[in-house]
Amino acid sequence: MKTKLTLSIDEELVPLAKTAARRQGRSLSDLVEEALREISVPPSKSVVDEWQGAFEPADRNDERYEYLAKKYR
């Protein structure tokens, strides 16, 4: 269900926004609604959050681990 909303926008911006909407074949209300939807979406998970817990600690008896441990001490 749609509801009316009163906005205060710089008077120089209104004709520019209406022209932009017209070029896209949309209403100014559609453009404003789309912009509000975009900024209202909760942020997606970060890369760290996505991969957290996906890896197991290295086996310290693995020769590759020992090689890298010596190399980077």
Taking each helix axis as running N to C, give the angle between helix 28-40 and helix 13-23, from 0 to 180 degrees, rounded to the nearest 10: 90
pLDDT in tens, 18-60: 999 999 999 999 999 999 998 998 878 888 888 888 888 878 8
What are the phi and psi torsion angles at 8 (to 5°)? -110, 120
Enter the pTM of the model. Answer: 0.54
